[in-house]
Amino acid sequence: MNKQSHPTMAPNHPLITILVALLVLAGMVLLAIRPSGEADPSTDGTSVSSAEEEAPPPAEGEPDGLTVVDAADVVGVEEAELAYDGGIPASVAYPVIPNAEPLADFLERELNDEAHAFEAASPGAVSFEAEWNLTAAGGGLVGVRMTRVETDSEGPKEGYTTYWYDTATAEHHPSTALVAGQEELERLNTLVREAVGNGDGGSADPDVIHPISSLYDSMGFNPGGDLVVEFDAGQVAPVSEGRTYAVVDAEEAGALLSELGARVRDAATVGVEDFEVSAPAQTAGNGGGDGPGVGELYPVDDGVDCSDPGTKCVALTFDDGPGGRTSELLDVLAEYDARATFFLTGHPVMEHPHTVRRAYAEGHELANHTLNHPDLAGLGTGRVRSDLNTVQALVYRETGYTMDLMRPPYGSTDDGVASVTADLGLAQILWSVDTLDWKDRDASVVRDRVLKGASDGAIILMHDIHGTTIDATHTVVGELDARGYTMVTVSQLLGTTTPGEVYVDRVPDVSEEDV
Ligand code: ZN
């Protein structure tokens, strides 16, 4: 049905809808005239072989969207309303399905967290709404697609997340679990970029699409079995374009799917009648401990061991950004397979979310440098907490990553900051080499200071908001590489850090007296 040789990114064209409707009708006619008892030879292994069974009704939905299951076809489903405990009005509904209570519990927690993250990340937050629909029910699976509307001072913005629930194990899965692994997600990302690049509709930018969980959090199948990837308004195209999506041909997508993904596809491509969830065989649910999921990246996983005396590690760190030329710095780092750490402040994150996602996707470490860059010492723990929390929420919403390092502006910290950061799970990272690049806007001066200061275990402070610093990195990164340095993230350099503790280089500094 409507097989495309290439993935497409197209608006919901009425002609396509009509064609599909005609094809569906034609298929129904064929089914009707086929002698009863004869298996349909066109389906693969899932055909109805018994003369007693009736063919299931066709799956419903549009070719550019996820399959739509009428909730009335799921036995006993009810709607619950979230009792939101935050500070803005929230109107959030989610499904409660008999024998699938762990799903409802998960949705309640998740939506509450999402509303809190929106509120924390958006000083102008006005309201949070969410409604649900089912996108598969069968084969031991339920798919729940949430549509959120987040309203802030700039108006409403729509976003989507789709969760998958296994009724036998009582486990819930994110959409990234539909693909077999990170490599498959990367291949899917290439297909999606192609679809966007070839697209005759929408002005989404292929270059801002990366294989990370926050971008691939709403995936499923259309009734024909093609994989549909959808993006929130404003995520990869201007907000005014609303939902953007890519459809990846069933055959191409099939090779990338996990076992769960193949089961979901099978469930989403047949119609639903009186689906009933039986009590789960296991009740363990999501026990965790499975390591990072697909699309969740950690800045430490590439096998560099800085404690090895044969490895000379240096951590380049960039504060106060990202800036307009940070992508240029990312190009240079990529050229030398070098990693860096970006201590982000809030407003630049809001201004350059694509750069934040790219840095994350390319293996750099993201760390918290506060929302408004205040001197935290003596500020009061309430304000320190809310300032840091805002940036945690901002970065989490863009990337799905929870940062575990922070840098106090001006290196200024005290016991109150130590206690708040300990509580928030953030280690305090200072530096051992200060390039003073904010003061001396001269690329050759900055370069000389980096090269003079570099030593095994050093943490070097720079600011990627200054053009002269970006200019300096063009030669510095290559020169450090030539001198045998491995440029690593702070977490690669330090290994496991203790929240609240202060570090200036590879040896933890517990005295806190150096500022
Ligand atoms: Zn700063």
The confidence score (pLDDT) of residue 32 equals 36
Distance 307 CA to ligand 1 centre (A): 28
Same domain, 182 and 238: yes
Alpha helices (runs of H) in 4-127, residue ranges in sequence order: 14-33, 101-121
The confidence score (pLDDT) of residue 467 equals 97
Instruction: Decide which of 233, 268, 303 is a domain's last residue.
Output: 268
Same domain, 245 and 380: no
Distance 342 CA to ligand 1 centre (A): 11
Per-position DSSP letters for 52-119, written without gaps between them: SSPPPPBP-S-TTS---B-GGGBTT-EEEE----SSS-EEEEEEE-TT-HHHHHHHHHHHHHHHHHHH
pLDDT band at 202 (very low <50, low <70, confident <90, very high): confident
**Average of per-residue pLDDT across 484-509:** 91
Residue 109 domain flag:
yes
**Average of per-residue pLDDT across 215-221:** 98
The confidence score (pLDDT) of residue 301 equals 65
Distance 297 CA to ligand 1 centre (A): 25
Write the CB contacts of 53 (distance below 8 Å, at least 6 apart in sequence): none
pTM for this prediction: 0.85
Distance 467 CA to ligand 1 centre (A): 16
pLDDT band at 49 (very low <50, low <70, confident <90, very high): very low
More confident residue, 482 or 6: 482
pLDDT band at 55 (very low <50, low <70, confident <90, very high): confident
Same domain, 233 and 322: no
Residue 473 domain flag:
yes
Distance 380 CA to ligand 1 centre (A): 19
Percent of the chain with pLDDT over 70: 85
Distance 471 CA to ligand 1 centre (A): 19
Residue 290 domain flag:
no
Write the CB contacts of 481 (distance below 8 Å, at least 6 apart in sequence): 336, 338, 487
pLDDT at 325 over 60: yes
Distance 374 CA to ligand 1 centre (A): 9
- Residue 247 pairs in a beta bridge with 8, 228
User: Catalytic site residue 319?
Assistant: yes
Same domain, 460 and 348: yes
The confidence score (pLDDT) of residue 6 equals 47
Distance 318 CA to ligand 1 centre (A): 9
Rounded CA gap, 408 and 253, in Å? 45
Residue 294 domain flag:
no
CATH of the domain at 441: 3.20.20.370
Residue 241 domain flag:
yes
pLDDT at 25 over 80: no
Q: pLDDT averaged over the chain?
A: 88
The confidence score (pLDDT) of residue 286 equals 64
pLDDT at 40 over 50: no
| Among the ranges given (44-48, 129-133, 244-248), the one the predictor scored with the smallest mean pLDDT | 44-48
The confidence score (pLDDT) of residue 285 equals 59
The confidence score (pLDDT) of residue 39 equals 38
Same domain, 317 and 264: no
**Average of per-residue pLDDT across 95-104:** 96
More confident residue, 492 or 279: 492
pLDDT band at 217 (very low <50, low <70, confident <90, very high): very high
pLDDT at 21 over 80: no
Distance 410 CA to ligand 1 centre (A): 6
Same domain, 380 and 256: no
Rounded CA gap, 216 and 208, in Å? 13
pLDDT band at 56 (very low <50, low <70, confident <90, very high): confident
Residue 121 domain flag:
yes
The confidence score (pLDDT) of residue 279 equals 83
Residue 399 domain flag:
yes
pLDDT band at 124 (very low <50, low <70, confident <90, very high): very high
Which member of 319, 320, 387, 464 is catalytic? 319
Distance 311 CA to ligand 1 centre (A): 29
pLDDT band at 47 (very low <50, low <70, confident <90, very high): very low
Same domain, 237 and 368: no
pLDDT band at 294 (very low <50, low <70, confident <90, very high): very high
pLDDT band at 246 (very low <50, low <70, confident <90, very high): very high
The confidence score (pLDDT) of residue 319 equals 98
The confidence score (pLDDT) of residue 46 equals 44
Instruction: Decide which of 268, 297, 331 is a domain's last residue.
Output: 268
Alpha helices (runs of H) in 76-226, residue ranges in sequence order: 101-121, 182-198
Instruction: Decide which of 238, 268, 298 is a domain's last residue.
Output: 268
Domain that holds residue 223: 71-268
The confidence score (pLDDT) of residue 166 equals 96
The confidence score (pLDDT) of residue 321 equals 97
Distance 442 CA to ligand 1 centre (A): 19
DSSP 195: H
Which member of 116, 364, 369, 463 is catalytic? 463
Distance 482 CA to ligand 1 centre (A): 29
Tens digits of residue pLDDT in 423-447: 999 999 999 999 999 999 999 999 9
pLDDT at 510 over 70: no
Highest mean pLDDT (candidates 31-35, 40-44, 48-52, 469-473): 469-473
Residue 492 domain flag:
yes
**Average of per-residue pLDDT across 486-501:** 96
More confident residue, 201 or 362: 362
Same domain, 126 and 207: yes
More confident residue, 202 or 131: 131
Residue identified by tokens 């026990």 is 287
Residues 11, 201 contacting (CB under 8 angstroms): yes
The confidence score (pLDDT) of residue 287 equals 52
Residues 23, 1 contacting (CB under 8 angstroms): yes
Same domain, 135 and 259: yes
For strand 155-166 and strand 141-152, is the pairing parallel, antiparallel, or unpaired?
antiparallel
Same domain, 131 and 260: yes
pLDDT band at 465 (very low <50, low <70, confident <90, very high): very high
Rounded CA gap, 469 and 297, in Å? 27
Distance 299 CA to ligand 1 centre (A): 21
**Average of per-residue pLDDT across 294-319:** 89
Same domain, 392 and 499: yes
Look at the chain and report how many structural domains it folds into.
Answer: 2
Distance 459 CA to ligand 1 centre (A): 15
Rounded CA gap, 38 and 48, in Å? 8
Same domain, 394 and 342: yes
